[in-house]
């Protein structure tokens, strides 16, 4: 019986990244032996145990054999005879197939340390194609590691294309797709997630509404990058920059322009009404992936309102109040700062615009604060009743917005 540190803890140490959770693999043991030493069994699909003192996960070395379609179709063998090399061989990428023993020696039968040094994401072996979730994991790892210079090995990308063409990605349950997407949006370079899936022919299976943006032209004077898919990549990366780790902002930024894929060809490169056209595909995407209501609702607001925020200076005071009301800004005031951030991501997520100022964001929040300062209780104290209160409140808020615009 021997224990090894494995997976992300070993990988991140070699990359010089902060240590996260530590996972261990135990070779030559049975479940009865683990429990006799005080380990508590917690695994449902394969034998995983919590250490009696550290509570860190320890899994018995195992092999996996494909037995059906999808990422759940596997038969697990955790016999004590399974070797460390066999356990590492079932893992997805070489950088995750490295172990470290008690004296610090690396066990690296598949060249993971070499690939880390070369900044290459490479699959361990041919069994990679057996788990469709690995396509999404590859893209998500790129969202995290592309800033470090990582690229996907050509042979790995070829296997990902094969898996996308096979239809296996259609077996993924919505919750797993959303989990990988959410983690990618919270990473440093979400564009690498989108670009990797796009190049692998997989984006059309998991996010067809986003895939449809690639190749759609925009007016060059507003979008020097021209391609709407490229614009979306820039917007997603700007969201990671302005709101690091915030997948709520990231999702709204990702889906704000879905309507551009529906623009009739004879109208291009203009996109008249794309903000309204984007509502239906956004609702379909959110329903399919079972996106949390908070994410869905902010995304719908950003999709519908981002052009209004861009032209905030042109809106009448009463129109600004209508915008705030549509956003439910008086019951959910945090939404306005979130909306302002998403709109800034859109404006700065364009070729050559990464460092541009976006005064509309600060102005929107200033006008919102002015409207919030109007208190209905004060109107009641003045003797107003019923419908009079609502109309007086509206007028007072419009006046407050106007005064804030004039610096009053």
Question: Domain 132-206 carries which CATH code?
Answer: 1.10.110.30
* pLDDT score, position 385: 60
Here the contacts of 316-324 (C-beta below 8 Å, separation 24 or greater) are 317/398, 317/399, 317/401, 317/402, 317/405, 318/398, 320/367, 320/401, 321/371, 321/394, 321/397, 321/398, 321/401, 324/367, 324/368, 324/371
pLDDT, tens digit (0-9, with 9 covering 90-100), for 18-52: 888 899 999 999 989 999 999 999 977 778 999 99
Q: Beta-carbon neighbour count of residue 319 at 10 Å?
A: 14
- The span from the CA of 334 to the CA of 372, in Å, is 12
The string of pLDDT tens digits covering residues 308-342 is 999 999 999 999 999 999 999 999 999 999 999 99
Convert the pLDDT of each residue in 371-380 to its tens digit: 999 887 666 5
**What's residue 78's pLDDT?**
84
- The pLDDT value recorded for residue 72 is 55
From the list 110, 109, 165, 157, the residue with the least C-alpha distance to 134 is 157
The answer to whether 185 and 243 are in contact (CB under 8 A) is no
Q: What is the pLDDT of residue 73?
A: 55
**DSSP of 250-319, one letter per residue?**
HHHHHHTTGGGGGS-TTTTT--TTHHHHTHHHHHHHHHHHT--HHHHHHHHHHHHHHHHHHTGGGS-HHH
**Residue found by looking up tokens 């003797």 in the block:** 383
Query: Could you identify the residue written with the tokens 């349950």?
Result: 173
Region of 149 (left: φ > 0; alpha: ψ -120 to 50; beta: rest) is left
CATH 3.30.460.10 domain residues, the chain: 1-129
pLDDT in the model for residue 408: 54
Residue span(s) of the chain under CATH 1.10.110.30 come to: 132-206
pLDDT of residue 45: 72
Q: Fold for 1-129, please state it.
A: Beta Polymerase; domain 2 (3.30.460)
Low-confidence ranges of the chain (pLDDT < 50): none
What are 65-84's pLDDT values in tens digits? 765 555 555 678 888 999 99
């Amino acid at each position: 019986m021997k224990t090894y540190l494995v997976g992300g803890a070993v990988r991140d140490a070699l990359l010089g990244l902060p240590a996260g959770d530590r996972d261990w693999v135990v070779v030559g043991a049975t479940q009865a032996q683990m429990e006799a030493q005080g380990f508590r069994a917690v695994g449902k699909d394969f034998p995983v145990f919590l250490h009696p003192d550290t509570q860190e996960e320890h899994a018995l070395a195992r092999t996996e054999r494909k037995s059906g379609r999808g990422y759940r179709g596997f038969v697990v063998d955790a016999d004590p005879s399974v070797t460390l090399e066999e356990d590492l061989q079932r893992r997805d990428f070489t950088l995750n197939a490295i172990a470290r023993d008690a004296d610090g020696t690396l066990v690296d039968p598949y060249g993971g340390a070499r690939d880390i040094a070369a900044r290459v994401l490479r699959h361990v072996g041919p069994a990679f194609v057996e788990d469709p979730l690995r396509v999404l994991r590859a893209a998500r790892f790129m969202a995290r590691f592309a800033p470090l210079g990582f690229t996907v090995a050509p042979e790995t990308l070829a296997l990902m294309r094969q898996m996308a063409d096979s239809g296996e990605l259609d077996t993924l349950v919505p919750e797993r797709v959303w989990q990988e997407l959410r983690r990618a949006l919270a990473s440093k370079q979400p564009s690498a997630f989108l670009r990797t899936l796009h190049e692998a022919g997989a984006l059309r299976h998991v996010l067809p509404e986003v895939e449809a943006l690639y190749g759609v032209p925009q007016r060059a004077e507003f979008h020097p990058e021209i391609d709407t898919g490229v614009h979306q990549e820039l917007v997603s990366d700007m969201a990671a920059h302005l709101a690091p780790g915030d997948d709520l902002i990231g999702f709204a930024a990702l889906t704000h322009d879905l309507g551009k894929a529906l623009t009739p060809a004879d109208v291009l490169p203009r996109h008249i009404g794309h903000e309204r056209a984007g509502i239906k595909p956004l609702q379909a995407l959110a329903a399919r992936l079972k996106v949390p209501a908070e994410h869905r609702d902010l995304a719908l607001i950003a999709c519908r309102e981002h052009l209004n925020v861009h032209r905030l200076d042109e809106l009448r005071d009463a129109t600004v109040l209508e915008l705030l009301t549509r956003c439910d800004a008086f019951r959910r005031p945090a939404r306005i700062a979130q909306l302002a951030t998403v709109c800034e991501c859109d404006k700065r997520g364009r070729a050559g615009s990464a460092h541009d100022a976006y005064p509309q964001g600060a102005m929107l929040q200033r006008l919102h604060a002015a409207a919030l300062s109007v208190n209905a209780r004060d109107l009641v104290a003045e003797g107003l009743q019923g419908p009079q209160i609502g109309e007086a409140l509206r007028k007072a808020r419009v006046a407050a917005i106007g005064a804030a615009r004039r610096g009053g």
